[in-house]
Amino acid sequence: MTRTGRLAALAFTATLLIGGLAPAAPALAATSTCGGTGSVTTSTGTLPDGAAFEIQCPAGPWNGTLFLYSHGYVVPGSSNPAQDAGDPITGGWMLSQGYALAGSSYATTGWAIQQALPDQIGTLDTFGQTYGTPTRTIAWGHSLGGIITAGLIQRYPDRFSAALPMCGVLAGGVATWNTALDSEFAFQQLIDPAVQVVHITNPTANLTAAITAATAAQQTAQGRARLALVAALGDTPGWFTPLLPEPAPGDYADAEANQFLWDTKVDFPFTFAFRAELEARAGGNPSWNTGVNYAADLARSADLPEVLALYHAAGLNLRQDLRTLDQASRISADPSAVGYLAQNIAFTGRLAMPVLSMHTTGDGLVVPENEQAYRSAVDRAGDGNLLRQIFVHRAGHCTFTPAETITAVQVLTSRLDTGHWNDAALDPASLNAQATALGPGYNVFLSGTTLVPVDPAFLRYQPPPYLRPFNLPPGGGH
């Protein structure tokens, strides 16, 4: 068995031993009425592990559906409030339609999936104890909340009716941090040998050093070519600013400049600093690049043409740089840490309910290739008929308008109402028409502190393959 196979087997075993199968929740007696009071009501409180929760009931009658929201990554040590919707405009529309909303903070910050999954179930239990069991419960969330959403329905399928993971880390934890390691490793070997890529002892200093080295590299053609290679191993898109158009095909200089912004402003904090928090909670390094063929990965990357063009323009030998990566000492993972990260969380692909996922095409933090990774796992498990995926043509991470999010909600609830997907309604033209019909108050984008009118931007899109997939066996349970 290969090392990757041994790690996958260990992770699978850890999932079975650690995860536990959650029994279906019993029906709970209501102590209060949700909705119908003439004004939106908000309940807050604290779960036994210290996580906060927030529950909102509509002003009018409750329609029986609860949306359980999972929020994204919180920088270690930052404020960590409960959230029950991604933005107030979308949340207000949901409440106006009779939906109830709930969500928790998580007991810890950082890669807090271990705490988030039970905290969200604790919030769901609290709702049931207070208002009674919902007729339907829909999990939804952004970014890290997207992987939590998908993790909730995998681990607790009896508690949910459907799911809407948005801009989610749907490649799973192991694949995500392996991909981060690939970019870190190329950066270390080709740009700054002094940075630490695992076992980071001083995250703040390490991040500062990486940004300083990248900024210096950006000043030369050779440095820009190598930064493009670093970006390509993570499939970072060359589009950064949501309200600016995508760089024209073949404008590789502009694309690389945008990747530099992704690296220094968004991605490097995770790869060169926040990895330390992950390793602390996992009890070691959960990532490896033993056996990785970087030339083969580059050949499959969406950014290959850019790398070829910039290396040629810089007079650099790409084969020599790939040979440098090939000959460098590789990094092995701590198997127990891989088991932890697979538990928190990797995917079997098994679905017991409809799932609609949504992603922007210009997301450089959680790249849209995550959707391909999830789709391949679900198809392999034989549940592809339950999954639909929609895409928005915009730069940025989770940069959806309220209208686009509400349209996704409407598509998913229609699937529950009718028992089948209306694939005609999932056509981008139909989605855009539905979003437009919501009116100008919802077709807006927050730029700084200003709401800017924005047309809906659904499009037909097939994400390229995820370069370093990692999934659990379809029969692996939870």
Count of Cβ atoms closer than 10 Å to residue 285 Cβ: 22
Number of H helices, E strands in the chain: 17, 11
User: What is the reported pTM?
Assistant: 0.93
The reported pLDDT for the residue numbered 475 is 77
Q: Which two tokens stand for residue 153?
A: 């329905």
- Listed in sequence order, the residues at least 6 apart from 280 whose beta carbon sits closer than 8 Å to its beta carbon are none
Q: Which CATH superfamily is domain 3-170+342-459 in?
A: Alpha/Beta hydrolase fold, catalytic domain (3.40.50.1820)
In the beta sheet, which residues pair with residue 117?
none
d(CA 290, CA 292) in angstroms, rounded, equals: 6
Q: Where are the domains positioned within the chain? A: 3-170+342-459, 174-333
Mean pLDDT value across the chain: 94
In contact, 440 and 453? CB cutoff 8 Å? yes
**Distance in angstroms (rounded) separating the CA atoms of residues 403 and 457:** 10
CA distance 116 to 388: 25
Region 291-320: mean pLDDT is 98
In this predicted model, what pLDDT tens digit does every residue of 96-153 receive, in sequence order?
A: 999 999 999 999 999 999 999 999 999 999 999 999 999 999 999 999 999 999 999 9
d(CA 146, CA 345): 11
pLDDT at 29: 53
pLDDT in tens, 20-43: 333 344 444 567 899 999 999 999
The DSSP output letter for 157 is G
Type of residue found at 149:
T
Give the C-alpha separation, 387 to 193, whole Å: 43
